[in-house]
A = this chain, B = another copy of it.
Amino acid sequence: MESLGETIRKRREDKELPLRTVAAYLDIDQAILSKIERGQRNANREQVIKLARFFNINETDLLVSWLSDKLVYEVRNEDMALKALQVAEEKVKYQKIKKL
């Protein structure tokens, strides 16, 4: 199960592109892209969408990867991480029903 950072680094290295090139496309400093690839910084939604376009990745898939990274980050170091995620799932499912 790959993080967004791992995914785009692989893609970039496959194409043998320097950070500079991709960073320019995203209109961000290459230092930021370096950090995003290594999970030290979070991308924002706009950047994820641009990355999907740049690397021809399904946008929704990449957004899910990005969102799930954020969730994992939120429960890092928590003993009940898994339990919390499961309960959150239930809550979201329940909300959906309520909305109908």
Interface residues of A (CB under 8 A from B): 1, 3, 60, 63-65, 67-72, 74-75, 78, 80-96
**Neighbouring B residues of A92 by C-beta, 8 Å:** 72, 75, 81-82, 85
Contact assessment for B71 and A74 in the assembled complex, using a CB-CB cutoff below 8 Å: yes
Q: 19 A-B Cβ contacts within 8 A?
A: A1-B90, A1-B91, A1-B94, A63-B80, A67-B84, A68-B84, A68-B85, A68-B91, A69-B91, A71-B75, A71-B84, A72-B91, A72-B92, A81-B92, A85-B85, A85-B88, A85-B92, A86-B89, A89-B89
**Neighbouring B residues of A96 by C-beta, 8 Å:** 82
With A and B bound together, what is the CA distance between A34 and B97 in angstroms?
Answer: 27
